[in-house]
Chains A and B, each alone.
Chain A
Amino acid sequence: MGKGIFVVSVPSQGTIRKVAFEILSEARKIADAKAEPLCAVIIGKGVAGLADKFAPYGADKVYVVENDLLEDYTADGYTKALADLITKEEPSTVLAGATGTGKDLMPKVAARIGASMAADCTAIGVDGDAFTVTRYMYSGKMIADVSFQNAAVAIATVRPNVLIAAAPDASKTAEIVNVAAEVSADDIRVKVLEVVKGDAGKVDLTEAEIIVSGGRGMKDADGYSILEDLGKVLGATVGASRAAVDAGWRPVSDQVGQTGKVVSPNLYIACGISGAIQHYAGMGTSKVIVAINKDEEAPILSKCDYAVVDDLFKIVPPLTEAIKKLMAD
């Protein structure tokens, strides 16, 4: 073993998730420290056109793993394709984004090949020759440094938006290796019947650079219109607290917190959110936190970077206008 650091990417609707570039940039350092090649792995049908996207972020080699049966993502098909490649090429380390797909796929791959795995890591590195990761446990309440011991293959998924993608260097090139995945119809036991698209332009909360989030203080579903307006100006995704989701004001997919999504944007604006420990667990790693709350006693006001103690309905509309003006300057 030890023949490379793999960074796996499953394109979604013809585009590579940016977490792949974030991981490649950081994994470049690990590859150098371990003197192993850094290899991007892209899986799907008709994805060869994306192969040149990885070299600018440090990939030495790009495996393009294709088969017509890999048109839709299925854990069955993609596990076969990826596990076969790992078995053949014997990388020491396999990394992927902790996206919905990464979380669904990688534990199954690990079980198939008997690899060790840590999920949703926020740092990756080496200690001597050993691969190490850092990850949150207890939903953000504790940070754990994890070592891989006796791991023939170490697998880790990495939380989006945490590692920093290097500036792409267009002059770099990588060796492209085309792999015809040996996937047969019998391997794929599931059928994807339908994909129902939500709000088309919406960036997923886990990948959003800015999140504007509303809680119980929004009063009702209509209250969110001012957050949508602010979100539009900032290019932000709108999130919600559990209280707002349980009240039926926002869909479950918008929930940030211990029993919702764990997010790590550059800027998190919490409006009318008290900041219970469960909510904080889901957004505490945001780089800058703003809290707007009229309740001086709200816990979030002491656990944020900027606090505005006032009625959010009086603050948010002029904030939207003020930011619009700044952006225009």
Chain B
Amino acid sequence: MNSIVCLKQVPDTEAQIIATSDGSDVKLDAVKFIISPYDEYGIEEALLQKEKAGGGEVTLVSMGPARVVESIRTGLAMGADKAVHLDDEAFNGSDAQAAAKVLAAQLKGMEYDIIYCGRQAIDDDQSQVGPALAELLGLTHTSVVTKVEVADDKKSVKVNRQIVGGEEIMELPLPCVLTCQKGLNEPRYASLPGIMKAKKKPLQAVKAADIGVDAGTVGAAGSGTRVVKFTAPPTRTSAKIIEGESPEEKAANLAKALREEAKVI
């Protein structure tokens, strides 16, 4: 089983995100970065499927600036075999569809059975790259996957995915793209020997020209959408404390406030 895992480095879930004073960008210089949590499920699943099949390779592919190397090394320390770092100024400012173009250009020449993506990256929250990447590679896909069973002949995969009010079980031919949802597995931690080994695993840096990508078709120049302004969401500052002599009285006062003041029930 050869798998590709698309990995995105994102700000830690704990991070406070602040806009620059003119609102044109966000300040990320003091932020701690992590592998987007849904991508970790992808790494884990690729490793589990490789172990089950008794062979194959897990390759990480990540686009972004130099700092991304740290997250790639974390993924290698978890057990991935090698990695590709798509690192070119031309990629900066890519929106989701442009990012999918860059990834597709890289993946075109590679061998794989399954490409795993997170169901979304927790910074842009677009959920676009997986389905778009599949389309650009001429593959089929499915999203929010919570269970993966590769057929014995390795020609198809049976997956469970979340749908409204339940679950759907689907069969896809290989190769295909799967986007991973929480519940798929429990990602392992990188072990100390794993961290040592990761330092020696192959990590290839790739520029736009290496994969035949014309700089004007990706990055900010090649993106059809652009964030023109960032603002902080409004915050609630003055909660009304519901008073009462007893829990029953508080409960009654809350019910009354929701009915008469907030008018939501």
Contacts and interface: CB of A to CB of B under 8 A. Distances in A.
B26 to A, nearest CB: 6
A142 B230 contact: yes
A145 B169 contact: no
B247 A311 contact: yes
A110 B170 contact: no
B231 A142 contact: yes
A88 interface: no
A46 B166 CA distance: 23
Contacts of B124: 137
A192 B172 CA distance: 9
Contacts of B153: none
Nearest to B38: A259
B9 interface: no
B5 interface: no
Interface stretch (A23-31, A49-57, A111-119): A111-119
Interface stretch (A162-170, A174-182, A217-225, A312-320): A312-320
A105 B127 CA distance: 11
Nearest to A308: B242
B52 to A, nearest CB: 21
Nearest to B158: A193
A328 interface: no
Given A75-B142, A108-B131, A326-B255, A145 B227 contact: yes
A258 B13 contact: yes
Given A138-B17, A144-B227, A191-B170, 6 more contacts: A100-B162, A267-B265, A278-B13, A303-B239, A308-B254, A323-B255
Chain A interface, DSSP helix/strand/loop, else mixed: mixed
B223 A116 contact: yes
B211 to A, nearest CB: 17
Chain B interface, DSSP helix/strand/loop, else mixed: mixed
Contact of B247 (A141, A148, A315): A315
Interface residues of B, number: 83
Interface string A287-329: 1111100000000011111111111001111110111011100
Contacts of A141: 16-17, 232-233
Interface of B: 11, 13-17, 19, 26, 37-38, 95-97, 100, 122-136, 140-144, 146, 158, 162-173, 181-183, 223-233, 235-237, 239-242, 247-248, 250-252, 254-259, 262, 264-265
B29 to A, nearest CB: 15
A120 interface: yes
Given A100-B163, A107-B132, A108-B131, A142 B248 contact: no
A278 B258 contact: no
A307 to B, nearest CB: 4
A173 interface: no
Nearest to A259: B37
Contacts of B171: 190-191, 193
Contacts of B136: 111
Q: Which 9 A-B pairs have the closest CB atoms?
A: A116-B224, A107-B128, A314-B247, A111-B135, A322-B255, A318-B251, A111-B132, A319-B251, A252-B183
Interface in A78-131: 79, 99-101, 103-105, 107-108, 110-112, 115-120
B17 A75 contact: no
Interface of A: 12, 75-76, 79, 99-101, 103-105, 107-108, 110-112, 115-120, 135-151, 154, 189-200, 202, 204, 210, 234, 252-253, 255, 258-260, 262, 266-267, 277-278, 284-285, 287-291, 301-311, 314-319, 321-323, 325-327
B127 A117 contact: no
Contacts of B235: 303
B16 A319 contact: no
B193 to A, nearest CB: 28
Contacts of B133: 111
Nearest to B262: A288
Nearest to A289: B236
Contacts of A323: 255, 258, 265
20 contacts: A79-B135, A100-B164, A104-B142, A117-B126, A117-B128, A120-B126, A135-B125, A138-B15, A138-B122, A139-B125, A147-B228, A193-B169, A193-B170, A195-B166, A288-B262, A290-B258, A308-B251, A309-B241, A315-B251, A321-B251
A116 B239 CA distance: 41
B143 A117 contact: no
